[in-house]
Amino acid sequence: MLLIGLAGLEIEPRERDWLVAPGVAGVILFARNYANRAQLMALAESIREIGGEHLLIAVDQEGGPVQRFREGFTRLPALSKIGATYERDPENAVRLAEEHAWVMSSELRACGVDFSFAPVVDLARGNTAIGPRAFHDDPGIAGELAQGYVRGMHLGGMAAVLKHFPGHGSVAADTHKAQAIDPRPLEAIRDADLRPFVEAIEAHAEAVMMAHVIYPAVDERPAGFSPVWIEDILRDELGFAGIVISDDISMAAAGAAGGVGARVRAHLAAGCDLVLACFPEVVDEAIAALPPPSDDALERLAPLRGAIGATWAGLLDNPQRDRFIARITALDEPEGNA
């Protein structure tokens, strides 16, 4: 199944055909698809009117540097700010992770968006693409905060998507721009990067997004193309029974599998349930590469569908929201003013 990107603020004629194509499970939205909340809700309604109520609508709304919808939404601090709080007040930091997640998820649910690709559970160990998006460099701290974040998302009516398995934080290269190779042995990865994933899976996260990183001591293929990582380690060893999602097939590191169609087929063959085709330029070719969907394919993705949430007016009347927003936005205030 595919999750596809759209070009702009409204659905174009060619995109109508995409939304009804067999194997298209929904869309992923970006800043290019957002003007304001009213436009977003109209776009979500149009997507489902054309393609059906089963279509999923997703976004990256992590906070910090990766927040696609900004004007009209709470400006969410980077997860690293929560990790920094943990060093002086662990109990408060866990609460902040839950509250950050609740605000993010409840606001998106009020606008018809099913889920965000969150939380990032990579370790903060120098990767240029991850940076402040990660909670912490300590696996134990990252895992505890990830568990809190998953709880908060669930309270907001949203599924959690852990990324980027088995860990993108300990290799320098940015897979958007180049191939990334992490030469460490599996035991080193188990002892560090896998630990936050294990803890967040125990908190009943519904999905995991794969990294495009190559770990040659385990498999010469990027993790998202690797049945070793997906089937042997994630599913069999860690016992994860949820949904496995690829990273974007347009990223430079995904070129290891060949062209667009080869990338789609390789992800599916490795065990991914959902493949991301984020840019409109690749969608036609990605759809053409899909095999006929199985009868239970949509049913398998059902846990990603958002629960019934409050309206925006209902959120504004919720005093809990005001308290949570005040606490999490204070994380971005200068030291001494928070």
Question: Residue 154 and residue 98: Cα distance in Å, rounded?
Answer: 9
Catalytic residue among 176, 232, 284, 332: 176
Q: Quick check: 114 and 170 in contact, CB under 8 A?
A: no
Question: Residue 159 and residue 136: Cα distance in Å, rounded?
Answer: 22
**254, 209, 280: which is closest to 29 by C-alpha?**
280
Radius of gyration (C-alpha) of the chain in whole angstroms:
19
Q: What are phi and psi of 326, to 5 degrees?
A: -60, -40
Q: Quick check: 70 and 124 in contact, CB under 8 A?
A: no
Active-site residue, 248 included: no
Catalytic residue among 122, 182, 193, 247: 247
Report residue 104 CA to chain centroid gap: 13
Active-site residue, 247 included: yes
- Please report which residue ranges of the chain form alpha helices under DSSP H: 13-19, 37-51, 79-86, 90-109, 139-155, 186-191, 194-202, 227, 260-270, 280-288, 297-301, 312-316, 319-329
Q: Is 217 exposed, middle or buried (0-12, 13-18, 19+ CB in 10 A)?
A: middle
Q: How many CA atoms lie within 13 A of 320 on its CB side?
A: 14
Residues 6+ apart with CB under 8 A from 186: 215, 217, 218
Question: Residue 161 and residue 273: Cα distance in Å, rounded?
Answer: 13
Q: Is 334 exposed, middle or buried (0-12, 13-18, 19+ CB in 10 A)?
A: exposed
> Which residues form the catalytic set?
176, 247
